[in-house]
Structures are given as C-alpha cells and as structure tokens.
Amino acid sequence: MAHDNKIYLPGYFLVILWITLCCVHVFASEETSEDGRKRSVSGVIVVPKHVIYRVDPRFYSFGLGCNLHWNSDISNPIIANLVKELSPAFIRLGGTLCQAMTFRDKDVGIPVKNVTLTSQIWDDLNAFLRDPGLDLIFDANILLRTENDTWDPTDFTELLEYSSSKGYPLSFELGNEPNNYPGKFNRSVSPEQTAGGFKAMRHLLQQTPRYRDALVIGPDVGFGKVIAQAEKQYLKRFLDSISRTTDATSIHFYYHDPSTLEAQLAFLTDMRNLNLFGKVLKDLRALVRNHRPGDLQAKWVGESGLFTAPCRLEGISDRFISGMVWLDRLGLGASLGIEVIVRNRLISLSHFGLFGHGGVLHVDYWSAVLFKRLVGTNVLKVHLEPSGNTTVPKTCRVYIHCTKTQGSKYGYQPGAVTVFAINFNLTAGVELSFNSTGADLFLLTPTRPGNVTSKYVALNGHELSLNKASDLPEMPPVRLEHPTYVLPPGSMAFFVVNVTDFGDCRK
C-alpha cells in the first residue's frame, strides 16, 4: 500500500491508524485474512499538535469509603507496598456514609447507622498514606446541623485540632452529592446552605495555621448520564453563592442504566454511551465559566465509577473491560481540562476497587500503574484526519500526553510523547504506523484474546502477576522498530515515542 499521501510536519511525529474491516471494499488494495476472506484497509492520521491543558500531577486519584471496611486492609504489607506505584495521588475519604460519620460517637439524627472515626483509625490511615506520599482529602459531615439549620462545625473542629497537633497534611470537602440528600437521608440542604457551610469551613481553616492554605473542593454534586436540569440548577446556585471560597468545583459521575452483565458489556462498548462522560464535562465547564467568570477555577470529577451501587455487578467492574473504560475516561477528562479524577475506590469489600478485601488485586491495577509511569501532566491536542475515502473509526480512542520523565523507570527524557489507545472494537484490529524511528510498546490484552471480561491481563503477551515476594514483576516494553503495529481487538496500549525533540514536551 502506498503511503505517499502522508503529511510530515517538522518537529512532529505522525501516527497512522488503520482499521481492518472484513468484506468492506474502500480501496482497491486488499489483504487476505487467515480465513481466506478479503479485507480492505482504511486509514486515519493522528497528529499531535500543542499543549492544551496541564493536569494536576495527582490527576488519577482514588477514593476510600466511610464505611471504614478498609481499616484492616491498610495494615496489609502487600497493599502498603503496591500503593506506592499509584503516587502521586489524592486519596479521598468520602462518600454517602461520611454524612453519618463523626470523629466522636454522636447521633447525627438521620436514618443511617452512625460511623465513628476513632483517633486510632485516623492515625492508621495517615500513617498508611505517609510513606507512598499520597495526599488525603477529608469529606466533612455537612448533616451535622445547628438549631438554625446551619452547618455545625463542632465535630470538624475537633478533628482539625487533633490533625493539626499531629501535623497531618489535609485537603477538605464538605458533604457528598447534596442534591441527593432528600432521597438518601430524607433531609434537604439548599445550594445556598451548602455554600454557607463551605464559607464557615474556610474561616475555620484560616484560623488554623497548618491549614490556612489547604485545598477546599466542592460541592460534589452527583450526576448521571447527563446533567439534568435540577442538577444544573443546584450547581448554578452554589456557584453563584460561593464567591472565591473553594479551590475546585467538583462533580460525581456514574452510569445508572443496565442491570445485567450482558447489558453492561454492550453498554460499555457503545461509543455513544462512553461519549456521555464528555458531554457532562462540557456542561460542567460551561457552568463554571458562566457562573464564576474570570475565576481560574479548577474542575474536578471528585468521585466516579462505572455504575451506581445497585448496578455494580461482579464480572464487569473487576474485569479487563473496566480498565479500558477507565483509560478512556482519563484521556477524555484530561482532553477537556479536568484537573483531577477520583476513582471510587482504592479498596473495596466487593469487586469495584483496585484492591479487594484481604489484598486481592483486581485487573485494572496494572493499567493504573502504567498510566502513572508513562503519562505526564501536559495534554496535547490531537488532530484526527482520515486518510483517503474513509472516516475516523469511532471505536478506537487515542489520546496523547507528554511522557512522564521525572523519575522515569524507563529512562525517558523530556521531549518524549506518550500515545495511549483503546480499541473498543471486539472483532477487528487497528493498525498503527509511526514515521519515527520506532516506539516502545506496552500492550495490555486479556490473557484470552478478545475476552474483555477476563480477570487476568497480559503485558506484551506475558500474564501479569505478583512475584513470590508479592512485588510487581518487571514490566518492560517491547521495542517497535517496524513503523506499523496492529492493536488487537478489545485491547489497550501505551506507545512511547522517545524522540526528545517534540518542542512542547521539552519545556
């Protein structure tokens, strides 16, 4: 096949994506598959342009629930060792049950069993996070109310004074999905009341020297597939009332729909559904832009998962497909200027955390490790250009960042570029071609090719598992000297083009 129509730009590398389609004749050129059928090849040129956003170094962060079930797991030396690979990151102690949690044993007056955060559990958590350098966010209980129905900060003040005496570094939130309180707690806290609580929190922090400049994030309004009018109104009214009190505006995002494994798998491989996340983020950007004009307010997804609690099914959120969706969500979020995305959760009693109870390691831990090792904070604009009489394949998602070079385990230098791609087509491969001298490949596939509900993952054809010492194995790349590579169906990959001369990545 002739490649004479490629455009080569000085200082750039080009990635050519070729999607293989059975029995569709777009070009005169054809290839013969193993089953003897003819198949034609169409092409897409992907050109990295310039830096469009810079995300927080802790962009991919993780949550812990306020049920405190993780308390026995943070003393597990295997987990303590493996979380080091996820640094830097925020760890958010937050969620629905935080609105039933107190630092001392009190009745908060809502129909949920109270949770007591003892000083010992708090000390253990801070000690667990100290060694790997993970930064704790504490979600304070906004449902502790005064007789005048304002936030009662007494309990928070006790925790603040205790933490200050211990020297614990902290960031803060107040409340969790306040728009959903009527349905969850039979309580209501208006956007203006929520904003008033944040102002009271900021005042307390400014009176505490250690936390005078602490990050404050909120209001963590909960969204589904789209930002419904009621949710937009809640966030709009909050933004109109909050002034400059918060440092980041945060929302939550989950899908709600399917209730069977088959329906969830079909849902997560339908690009129309995956694109809903981007639509919600664009709505968030518009709300912040219109209601905090001139304010360079950071935008966070303060909590996210695949599906809401009633729909979290074993067989999806602990399988290979989860890692594919999460890698796409990270790429899409960064490309739309989201500074931090908090995955729910780091440790879970069930199947939707990176770690299960007792140190069980779930499959998408491995893609999280590679993301942390290879993807830098500078986000590059990607231009997708069809080659020939074709269209851009919707089932292949491609994102480009400058490579993470500080402390690189692979010796990458400034100027290198990381391309990460996910092929959601479960039957057709995608051929990628580079006009550089080569690239390092980190290919993640299910151990049984094409089985995206697999619990096991292979890196460049070798199944990943902990070694006998419960440490990570070596995770080397494969060097691609040939300019083309076929990304298999239902797979994801990182390509590091170590050109060292891509200008925007040398700064």
The answer, yes or no, to whether the previous bond of 57 is cis (omega within 30 of 0) is: no
Helix (H) or strand (E) holding 194: helix 191-206
Contact of 315 with 453, CB cutoff 8 Å: yes
Please give the C-alpha separations between residue 507 and each of 197, 334, 440, 473, in angstroms, as whole numbers. 41, 19, 22, 32
Per-residue model confidence (pLDDT) at position 8: 28
The pTM of the full predicted model, rounded to 2 decimals, is: 0.91
Contact of 150 with 196, CB cutoff 8 Å: yes
CA 136 – CA 421 distance, rounded (Å): 31
CA 384, 387, 391, 392: dihedral to nearest 10 degrees? -30
Q: pLDDT 10s digit of each residue in the chain, 507 long?
A: 333 333 222 333 455 554 443 322 222 233 344 444 333 333 455 556 789 999 999 999 999 999 898 988 999 999 999 999 999 999 999 999 999 999 976 777 777 778 999 999 999 999 999 999 999 999 999 999 999 999 999 999 999 999 999 999 999 999 999 999 998 999 999 999 999 999 999 999 999 999 999 999 999 999 875 667 889 999 999 999 998 899 999 999 998 767 788 888 999 999 999 999 999 999 999 999 999 877 678 999 999 998 886 555 678 889 999 999 999 999 999 999 999 999 999 998 777 889 988 888 999 999 999 999 999 999 999 876 655 555 667 898 999 999 999 999 999 999 999 999 999 999 988 877 765 777 899 999 999 888 999 999 999 999 999 999 999 999 999 999 876 788 899 999 999 987 666 778 987
Strand duo 430-434 + 15-22: pairing: antiparallel
Per-residue model confidence (pLDDT) at position 323: 96
Helix 320-335 / helix 271-291 crossing angle, nearest 10 deg: 30
Per-residue model confidence (pLDDT) at position 195: 98
Please give the C-alpha separations between residue 477 and each of 367, 370, 413, in angstroms, as whole numbers. 14, 11, 16
CA 329 – CA 244 distance, rounded (Å): 29
40 burial type by CB count under 10 A (0-12 exposed, 13-18 middle, 19+ buried): middle
Q: Tokens at residue 94, please?
A: 């937050």
CA 215 vs. chain centroid, Å, equals: 19
Strand duo 462-463 + 491-497: pairing: unpaired
DSSP string, 462-501: EE----TTSPPPP-PPEEE-SSEEEEPTTEEEEEEE--S-
Please count the CA atoms within 13 angstroms of the CA of 503 that sit on its side-chain side.
6
Length of the chain equals: 507
DSSP string, 69-97: GGGGTTT-HHHHHHGGGG-S-EEEE-SGG
DSSP string, 97-150: GGGGEESS-----SSS--EE--HHHHHHHHHHHHTTTPEEEEEE-TT-B-TTSS
